[in-house]
Amino acid sequence: MTEAEDNKDPIQVPPRDDNAGSLSSREETNEEDNTGNDDMYETLDIVADPKQSQVRIDKFLMDRLYSRSRSKVQAAIRVGSITVDDKEVKPNYKIKPGNHICIVFPRSTAEDQNVLPQNIPLNIVYEDDDVMIVNKPYNMAVHPGVGIPNGTLVNAVAWHLKEQAAELPVKEGNENNRAGIVHRIDKDTTGLMVVAKNMDAMTFMAKQFFNHTIERRYWALVWGDPAEDSGTVVGNIGRNPNDRKLFMVFPEGEDGKHAVTHWRVIERFYYVTLVECRLETGRTHQIRVHMKYIGHTLFGDPRYGGNQVLKGTLYSKYKLFVEKQLQTCPRQALHARVLGFTHPRTGEHVRFEAALPDDMQTVIDRWRAYVEARKELL
């Protein structure tokens, strides 16, 4: 692992690419699984007047939603919480006469509250004046949200930094309870994340994520035995119209957002396979959705059907073996193993690695032993 030297020279923020779009866009980040009950949300429906002139949807809504800031309205549009005629749109969409606008806002969240510092252990891989690299554990959300008021990575970072926590930057378009957060991984995904400790570092890191120059490699245990040793999945990802908590691939590109995942086999266990996935983009549930799309659902993934037997017999002994592994790793078997980027102060490339967590490693070891004992029969 290469670590950046503690160099105090000023941070050189890279020039903005005017063709790249806004850094505040959340479409380039990994979303959290912030789910809650229906009564936690406020739903509004607006139908544009037949004589409505064509204006941007954010301006149209600002004239009607007096209690919401423009940045919140735009953020809601970007994440699909505001739809027009049941379709997601961009903030610059022009409202047309008769459009049906559906709006879903959290009824009450911790987003506008100060973050409560909490004494939660952190596995800090590296830290300097500009960045902190954390190995996030299973069952930890990155920041507070609906149904998750505390106990998050942000709460733990606030405790760790003490007085310095007040100086953590907030990425443009984010809420105050996301201080220092440049990107996210799902609550039940483990592995490496970077926290920016000042605004220059935040701007520099956000630019790299937006331009896809960050190295992100995940290890995943998937069901099945891929026919090839490596491959690339290209397919737009968007919300499943039948279940808004799930995402799916739109192969014709008629909906969703462009997504690319490169994968390669690390080790085969006949019934399951350990693969490395390299993200070229960073859509919500990207690896989970793309691997399911090519027939290799992540082992243990409760959202996408990986918590049941998808390959092998249904004989009682095999079924009991699989159930034991699902109990050992009761989540999607996905780990952010490698994170590499250009350091915001030194300009040097730094690369960090995190070994597999115990639950995944134990399950992999058991699958290896299980197959080895039966290799003559397979």
Cβ neighbours of residue 15 closer than 8 Å, sequence gap 6 or more: none
Cβ neighbours of residue 23 closer than 8 Å, sequence gap 6 or more: 171, 172, 173, 203, 206, 207, 210
Cβ neighbours of residue 271 closer than 8 Å, sequence gap 6 or more: 223, 224, 225, 311, 312, 367, 371
DSSP state letter for 297: P
Distance, CA of 292 to CA of 308 (rounded, Å): 13
Active site residues: 186
Between strands 334-342 and 190-196, the pairing is parallel
| H-state helical runs in 64-152 | 70-78
Task: List, in sequence order, every beta strand (DSSP E) within the chain.
Answer: 41-47, 82-84, 87-88, 100-106, 124-127, 131-136, 190-196, 215-223, 230-234, 236-240, 243-250, 260-268, 272-279, 334-342, 349-353
What burial class does residue 245 get, using C-beta atoms within 10 Å of its C-beta: 0-12 exposed, 13-18 middle, 19+ buried?
exposed
- Kind plus residue range of the DSSP H or E element containing 230: strand 230-234
Write out the two tokens for 225.
Answer: 């035995």
Cβ neighbours of residue 227 closer than 8 Å, sequence gap 6 or more: none
CA-closest candidate to residue 88, choices 255, 234, 235, 251: 255
